[in-house]
Amino acid sequence: MANEHTLQSIAFPVLDDEQVAQIAGCTGGTPRRCRDGETLVATGDRAFHFFVVKSGAVEILNYGGEEPKTITVHHKGQFTGEVSQLTGARAVFTAVARGDCEVIEISGDGLRHVLNQCPALSDIILQAFVARRQLLRESPDFVGLRVIGSRYSADTFRVRDFLTRNRILFTWTDLETDPQVDELLKEFGITAADTPVVACAHLLLLRNPSNERLADEVGIHQQLEDTVFDLVVVGAGPAGLAAAVYGASEGLKTAVLDCNSPGGQAGSSMRIENYLGFPTGLTGAELTDRATLQANKFGAHLSIPTAAHHLTFENGYAVLDVAGSETITAKCLLVATGAQYRKLAVDGGELFEGRGIYYAATVAEATFCHGCTAVVVGGGNSAGQAAVFLAGHADRVLLLIRGDDLNKNMSSYLVSRIEQTPNIELLCNTTIQKMLGNGHLRAVEMVNGASGQTRTEQTPAVFSFIGATPLTSWLPTEVERDAKGFVKTGSAVAGSAWWDAGRAPFLLETSRRGVFAAGDVRAGSVKRVASAVGEGAMAVQFVHEYLKEM
């Protein structure tokens, strides 16, 4: 109860008169008198404003359920808003004046000015935003967006996965198990064949949307044309987000693109225990949330999903062709696209992508494992973290490795954790040779490479972490890569035919001047979160040095 009380006090602080006056003076906020019942922010609004209450009250409502429910009521000295205020997403709440009240209305740019110029107020506001988002996530009454679809539908999983990775608040209604599904389908005037659908409050938004359409609708895609950026970062994993934070905070006009979501592979980790400064560990989502909020605070432009299709150079600038025929121009480019897990080359496997085969183990995927056996394939840290996490949800977890020694590629603390978890069974020298099911996965056939013995296990979910392939196919030939596709940098490109500068390449610079690489995509990098963050930060220093040459 003490922790809950502390979170409430952080989420809903009361500013004194001096602090309210400081906000008004710093932002050029507009005083506004509101009538009783006047709506200041409506659920689903884009680019909504920030309000500080000077007198009267503002009620915050959740319109996701059958009837609107009060989340809180702000009185004198309190303020509206939460994380979506900065990320560009749609409003997840409605704010209504109660009684005759007076507020200070502040634009998004004005709020960002406060956060960057008034450290004491910045701390109060940002901590409140983060705490409010946590309270909403933990509230059993808060709905957010509503996704209606079958657990056996690959498109339903894709939509859920996209929203989860982008930290969009939503509630999933499963066609197979939810007792209210018929009533909901009737309410929205749809049938099961129309699903998956995405709704906001009582408004049906989208039927089986693409990720691009979904991003446009929830407000996380930004148009980045018609401007020249000092730095464009391709890839919003730990390296890319670190570069965004340091670049934007140091005055560089910075944009960050990602084809799916912030966080990269690390963003889907349910427990990172060896990251410096977090002795009790943290999830990849927590790390991503903090980094994304920092980048937005400093004014970096994040656009999701924006995939880099082709890179050319014009008058010394990098020109990116991205989805939707959009082009983005940059003085400097940072390649931070990381790597993706290889797909399982298994008989019948292509039928079960998103219907039984998964490449991340988060709460979204864990729901499929309750009361069942989960299978994890891989011997690295990601596989180990997944096995330990899933052991808390599944009856049993089978961990399959090709070799005979789990210590070869996994940190010792994870090996010990696995050995001490009674419902994890390690199967060495074992691979999956066949997948079985009808529309969705029901069982796998495994073979022991040493003994030749086969074994069939009933399972609804296989989690694959079997090595990574760098995401570099979009790069031109003048950005050199090694035999595996990882980007070469520094001394490795000093003798390149493409290198045309009268100096040695910077440590993270590629064979093309002004193009840098950081994180897992870089040849020779250390595949750890801390290393990626360090490289992303370091790259910005080299960007400054390069810009001096222009």
**543 assigned to some structural domain:** yes
Q: Is 218 a residue whose pLDDT tops 60?
A: yes
Residue from 546, 474, 487, 480 nearest 513 by CA:
546
Please write the tens of the pLDDT for every residue from 232-244.
999 999 999 999 9
442 contacts: CB under 8 Å, gap ≥ 6: 356, 436, 458, 459, 460
211 contacts: CB under 8 Å, gap ≥ 6: 158, 162, 260, 305
Q: Residue 213 belongs to a domain with what CATH number?
A: 3.40.30.10
Token pair, residue 315, equals 């008058």
Least confident of 271-285, 396-410, 503-517: 271-285
- Name the most confidently modeled range: 36-40, 46-50, 181-185, 342-346: 36-40
**513 assigned to some structural domain:** yes
**357 assigned to some structural domain:** yes
- The answer to whether 403 touches 429, Cβ cutoff 8 Å, is yes
**276 assigned to some structural domain:** yes
Q: Is 64 a residue whose pLDDT tops 90?
A: no
Token pair, residue 412, equals 């010792």
How many structural domains is the chain composed of? 4
Residues 7 and 134 in one domain: yes
Please write the tens of the pLDDT for every residue from 421-479.
999 999 999 999 999 999 899 999 999 999 999 999 999 999 999 988 999 999 999 99
Please write the tens of the pLDDT for every residue from 503-514.
999 999 999 999
Indicate the pLDDT class of residue 363, thresholds 50, 70 and 90: confident
- The answer to whether 102 touches 32, Cβ cutoff 8 Å, is yes
- The answer to whether 268 touches 293, Cβ cutoff 8 Å, is no
Pairwise CA distance, residues 469 & 511, whole Å: 21
Pairwise CA distance, residues 51 & 86, whole Å: 14
Residues 133 and 37 in one domain: yes
Token pair, residue 409, equals 């590629």
Pairwise CA distance, residues 52 & 386, whole Å: 43
Under DSSP, is residue 255 helix (H, G, I), strand (E, B) or coil? strand
- The one-letter amino acid at 94: T
Q: Is 10 a residue whose pLDDT tops 50?
A: yes
Q: Is 2 a residue whose pLDDT tops 50?
A: no
Token pair, residue 56, equals 């009267």
pLDDT for 4 equals 63
Please write the tens of the pLDDT for every residue from 86-101.
888 888 899 999 998 9
**378 assigned to some structural domain:** yes
Q: Residue 428 belongs to a domain with what CATH number?
A: 3.50.50.60
Tell me the sheet residues that pair with 254. Answer: 231
Percent of the chain residues past pLDDT 90, beyond the cut: 73
Q: Is 224 a residue whose pLDDT tops 90?
A: no
Q: Residue 109 belongs to a domain with what CATH number?
A: 2.60.120.10
pLDDT for 527 equals 87
Residues 328 and 377 in one domain: no
- The answer to whether 136 touches 232, Cβ cutoff 8 Å, is no
Q: Which domain holds residue 82?
A: 2-138
Residues 427 and 408 in one domain: yes
Q: Is 204 a residue whose pLDDT tops 90?
A: no
- The answer to whether 315 touches 236, Cβ cutoff 8 Å, is no
pLDDT for 1 equals 40
The last residue of a domain, from among 196, 217, 238? 217
The last residue of a domain, from among 111, 138, 165? 138
**222 assigned to some structural domain:** no
Residues 43 and 169 in one domain: no
pLDDT for 67 equals 78
**223 assigned to some structural domain:** no
Work out whether the CA dihedral 37, 41, 43, 44 comes out positive or negative. Answer: positive
The last residue of a domain, from among 90, 119, 138? 138
Residue in this structure with the two tokens 């690390």, named with its chain if needed: 266
Residues 404 and 285 in one domain: no
**H-helix segments, 356-452:** 363-366, 381-390, 412-419
Residues 476 and 336 in one domain: yes
pLDDT for 344 equals 86
Q: How many helices (H) and strands (E) does the chain have?
A: 14, 26
Averaged pLDDT of the chain = 92
Please write the tens of the pLDDT for every residue from 306-354.
999 999 999 999 999 997 678 999 999 999 999 988 888 888 788 899 8
Residue 505 is given by DSSP the state P
- The answer to whether 360 touches 382, Cβ cutoff 8 Å, is no
Residue from 134, 144, 137 nearest 173 by CA:
144
Percent of the chain residues past pLDDT 70, beyond the cut: 98
Residues 438 and 479 in one domain: no
Residue from 49, 13, 16 nearest 129 by CA:
13
Residue 434 is given by DSSP the state E
Residues 238 and 154 in one domain: no
The four Cα atoms 340, 345, 349, 352 give a dihedral, to 10 degrees, of 0
Residues 260 and 399 in one domain: no
Please write the tens of the pLDDT for every residue from 167-176.
899 999 999 9
> Which pTM was predicted?
0.90
Under DSSP, is residue 250 helix (H, G, I), strand (E, B) or coil? coil
Pairwise CA distance, residues 256 & 261, whole Å: 11
Residues 414 and 535 in one domain: no
Residues 310 and 360 in one domain: no
Q: Is 203 a residue whose pLDDT tops 80?
A: no
What is the arithmetic mean of pLDDT over 390-417? 95
pLDDT for 66 equals 67
CA distances from 47 to 20, 125, 326, 448, 478 (A): 22, 18, 22, 56, 40
**86 assigned to some structural domain:** yes
